[in-house]
Amino acid sequence: MANKTTKKTTEPTKTAANGFLAGTPWVYTETVKEHFLNPRNFLMGDESKYQYDAKGIVGNPICGDQMLMFIQVEDGEDPKTKKPAKIIKDVKWKTYGCASAIASTSALSELAKGRTLDDALKISAEEIEEYLGGLPKHKFHCSVLGHEALAAAIANYKKK
């Protein structure tokens, strides 16, 4: 279940090299910070070594973020209908993105595991934001990028 820590840290940044002015506060929740610094299901190294069933790639030309999502799918049962369904067994991802994109996709990867393909498509940007305890309004679009990559991976899987 989601970590509901929503306290925002006001630790000043140590260097301006990270894109923030030195001495400005961190404007994200502790949960966002945790997912940014320790992203879940991030694919390290060569993706050709990861056994996946489908992948999706999307980008946002406005901010320059790019997302690559890989899914493993298995036969299972829809917990709601008790009918056979395709279930997301595992999710891995890579990104060129900001802290919000990284944290949002980390959260999304946790939310998607174990869901049916159709249920995973219903994960909303609002659900991701709630899981993270909030995002700055100007960074809300970052939570959409991971979902778009997941949707592309699912669409590619369904084409098979």
Q: Answer with the residue of higher pLDDT: 32 or 72.
A: 72
Residue 144: pLDDT band by 50, 70, 90 thresholds? confident
Range in 2-6, 45-49, 61-65, 110-114 the model is least confident about? 2-6
Residue 20: pLDDT band by 50, 70, 90 thresholds? very low
pTM listed for this prediction:
0.79
Q: How far is CA 60 from CA 64, 108, 114, in A?
A: 6, 18, 28
Q: Answer with the residue of higher pLDDT: 133 or 62.
A: 133
Q: Position of tokens 């919000």?
A: 100
63 catalytic residue (yes or no): yes
Options 123, 142, 145, 152, the catalytic residue: 142
98 catalytic residue (yes or no): no
CA-closest candidate to residue 32, choices 123, 84, 105, 115: 105
As a whole number, mean pLDDT of residues 17-29 equals 58
Which pLDDT belongs to residue 25? 61
Which pLDDT belongs to residue 29? 83
Options 2, 57, 63, 121, the catalytic residue: 63
Q: Answer with the residue of higher pLDDT: 62 or 38.
A: 38
Residue 23: pLDDT band by 50, 70, 90 thresholds? low
Domains of the chain: 19-159 (3.90.1010.10)
Beta bridge partners of 93: 42, 69
Q: How far is CA 12 from CA 8, 28, 84, 95, in A?
A: 12, 12, 51, 26
Quick: pLDDT tens for 89-142: 999 999 887 888 899 999 999 999 999 999 999 998 889 988 988 877 777 667
Residue 16: pLDDT band by 50, 70, 90 thresholds? very low
How many percent of the chain have pLDDT more than 90? 48
Buried b / exposed e over 8-17, threshold 16 CB at 10 Å, is beeeeeeeee
CA-closest candidate to residue 32, choices 125, 111, 119, 128: 128
